[in-house]
Structure 1
Amino acid sequence: MTMGARNRAAEPAPHLEQATPPGRAAALVELLRRNAARTEQDRCVAAENIAALDEAGLFSLTVPQRLGGHQERIRTLVEVSSELGRGCGSTAWTTSLINISGWLIGLYPQRAQREVYAQGPGTRACAALPPHGTGRTADAGSLVTGRWGFASGCLHARWALLGMTLTDERGEHLDQALALVPMDQLTIEDTWHVAGMRGTGSNTLIAEGVFVPAHRILSVTHALQGVYPTEFKDESLYRAAFVPTLALSLAGPLLGLARGAMELVLASLAVGRGISHTNYAQAREAPSSQMQIAEAASLIDTATLHLMRAADDADSWAASGQSMPLINRTRARMDIGTVARCSRDALDLLLNVQGARSFADDSPLQRIWRDLETGTRHAMVNPAIATEMYGRALLGIEDQITPLI
């Protein structure tokens, strides 16, 4: 039995797990692979993917059960996005960020939640969290103006969560907040022209004096302290730590990309190609290939363990009803940075094994490489920043480099 065959045999048959969200995600991987090139070319997740994800209920993982959603754990979210990432990084990223937007909506008052999901739990939202807008106090709400880049999933959303600085009538700072706004009150500017993750359609959203009622404005200052306005305090999912949960939504697709690359390289080695300019008629027989494959697999295992630990930690603290301590929050960020670093390093080894053919236009590996190089540079998963934060916390240094912990 070949190594590729052993790996395939070790995986559970998709039909055994289709009742679970990760199983339903795994069942869609081949569809996403077939549509990955088109998703990238169109700079938008293929409509067939969106329909399949919708039918599988994978856009409502974080929607409250009382509103028809699945209200799954954070671990389930990262498991699903990791599975989808095997097939298409852009689709996985978009799905995960739509779901994390659903989680954010679950933090709002019931009135806001009911407005969003009035047409069903499959209603999709996107988010652009940096405070690139302003909300000037108006009668029972705020007038919101701004431009928000990198709004992943905006091409498939009906609502948007927009970061802003709240001010009074004189323009003086009051708070940092998230405004929940219908997409039909915003303009999408086509600005997402990038090397990787092209299919996420992460364009720029524009608001000009849009009125947002007070019940659709969430204080980020309070959220960072674990204080959310939802009336349903018994729903543990919506007690999860704010920044670690947001950051975790980015990590699953990155791991999935590395996993997908491993599958492609193992399949290529199984057909018996050689190594140019050597005596190896089959690359799989070369110790250099064997060692690099083993090291890449170990790095992917390491990334998986760190990702699941961070997700389980977030879930456990949320279930306990206690605030996640600073040391655990910084460790979660470190875990996520480790996912990014190990996934990148694993892919580098796999590209070495596959050789220059990895970068042919028709090779999916070059798209995976560009997607992973782009996605792992997101500020929330930056390994160097995460390392500094965790080191400061371990040393008891109270002055941190960011409030987003």
Structure 2
Amino acid sequence: MVDAGIRPEISAIIDRIDAIRPRLIASGQGGDQARRIDEEVFAAVVATGAFTVSVPERFGGLAANTREANAVARAIGRGDGSLGWVDGILDSGAWVVSLMDDRAQADVWGGEGGVDALISIVLATTSEAVLVDGGYRVTGRWAYGTGSMHATWSLLGIPLKNEAGDIVDAGLALIPTAELSYEDNWFVAGMKSTASVTQVAQDVFVPAHRVFPLTAAVEGGYLGSNSEATYQTVFVPSLFMKLVGPHLGMGRAALDFVISKAEGKAIAYTGYEKQADSAIFQTVIAKASVNLSAAESVAQQVADEIYAATVDGTYAPYATRIEMRAKAAWVVETVTNVINELVTAHGSSGFAEVSPLQRIWRDQATAARHGHTLAASGYEAYGKILLGREDDARFVLPIV
């Protein structure tokens, strides 16, 4: 297995994120209540360079490999899970644009925003697209628009049609957010401050070079000329791995918080004046730490497997991609279980609105239901693969 590693330039960004972690933690409650990430805090994360890591080097980015992008999102998620999730989505947008026609890339990063231009992404094709001279005219509504309130561009799913009006593929249309409106309908239990509103387009023209066909992309049919290894990696696994980092960060944040309170918090209705003195509590903490370390190791294993294929010049077949999907699901499920156990060990005070723990719990539980890493479908499909039923697996997860 090739070890992709983390370059010093990426490590420096992570160090800068770690340095402002107390600020991210402190702003979390306000962002949760306002349903918006604090603009000054968001700007502070932008200043670390976090949102440039997946931009191609020719535009001033770092062309991050999967492990590096994962580590950046994890660092942000350890301070604020919602902000880490926004990073994972915007990083996905940047990576996908890097696979598109070079003219589309120049539109995004060669303009006024430069390397700091941000791109949100929604894959669902909840829209109508009419083939016209030079491109498509698009009308639609897309939920959930995570990161769209900060983005200057959005990648939005559209049906691709031939001249007869028949749908022949699905695609992503790259549209300036200035040409979109939104409905502020993000009223949810967790991930509140992501402001994942519904984006709306009304008869917007999208030139052909800003349209990215997805069927070919799933099998590695990219359009850009970027030579860095990260832009040769397998499509769907590269995307779902970008959403694993925030989970790992939230798991660590929960453990950090529970440990920080253990010396000053009693266990109700017992003789323990300090949780830290209890053998049962100590066991919960130890198991949480071990399980999080295991989850981080599996995430790194999948990330390195994705990178190794580019060195070998191979593109992972469907069965291998399903195994990656199942492992990513296990990572997310493990974090969910760890946080649940930590919440129980900490006690009912963790559900106070002022406690970061209940927000971590809500945010991660909400993110864990994302279809990209949902455990049930990942395990079912992988089980079918192991039993020699690949056609049945493709029914469960046709696009991986």
2:251 match: 258
Structure 2 SS opposite 1:155: coil
Structure 2 residue aligned with 1:26: 18
How far residue 159 of structure 1 moved from its aligned partner, in angstroms, is 0.2
Query: Residue 36 of structure 2 aligns to which amino acid in structure 1?
Result: C
- CA deviations over 1:78-102 (Å, ceiling 9, x no partner): 1111111111011111012111100
Identity of aligned residues (%): 34
Q: 2:32 aligns with which of 23, 40, 47?
A: 40
CA contact (8 A) 1:299 1:345 kept: no
Alignment match, 2:225: 231
Matched, 1:379 2:371: yes
Question: Per-residue displacement from partner, 1:149-203 (whole Å, max 9, x unpaired)?
Answer: 0110000000000011112344311211110011111111111110000111111
Q: Decide which moves more: 310-319 or 19-28.
A: 19-28
Aligned residue identity for 1:384:
A
The answer to which of 38-47 and 187-196 deviates more is 38-47
- Cα deviation digits, residues 7-36 of structure 1 (max 9, x gap): xxxxxxxxx998523222222211110111
Cα offset, 1:368, TM superposition: 0.6
| 1:379 counterpart SS class | coil
**Two-structure CA RMSD over aligned residues (Å):** 1.5
Q: Tell me what 2:287 maps to.
A: 295
Could you say if the C-alpha distance between residues 18 and 181 of structure 1 is closer, same or farther in structure 2, counting changes exceeding 3 Å? closer
Q: Distance in 1 between matches of 2:205 and 2:273?
A: 68
Is residue 97–residue 152 contact of structure 1 (8 Å, CA) maintained in 2?
yes
Q: Which position in structure 2 is the counterpart of 1:248?
A: 241
2-side partners of 1:89 and 1:218: how far apart? 30
Alignment of 1:3-402 (within 5 A): 20-117=12-109, 118-119=111-112, 120-232=114-226, 234-271=227-264, 273-399=265-391, 400=394, 401-402=396-397
Q: Secondary structure at the match of 1:316?
A: helix
Distance in 2 (alpha carbons) for counterparts of 1:318 and 1:148: 33
TM-score, length basis structure 1: 0.93
Structure 2 distance, partners of 1:250, 1:44, is 20
Superposed displacement of residue 43, structure 1: 1.3
- Distance in 1, Cα, partners of 2:231 & 2:37: 28
- In 1, Cα distance between the equivalents of 2:309 and 2:125? 28
Give 5+ residue unaligned stretches, structure 2.
Answer: 1-7
Shift in Å, 1:322: 1.4
8 Å contact from structure 2 (residues 275, 281) kept in 1: yes
Aligned residues, how many? 388
1:250 is displaced (CA, Å) by 1.1
* 1:63 aligned counterpart, secondary structure: coil
Unaligned 5+ segments in structure 1 are 1-15
Alignment of 1:404 onto 2:399: yes
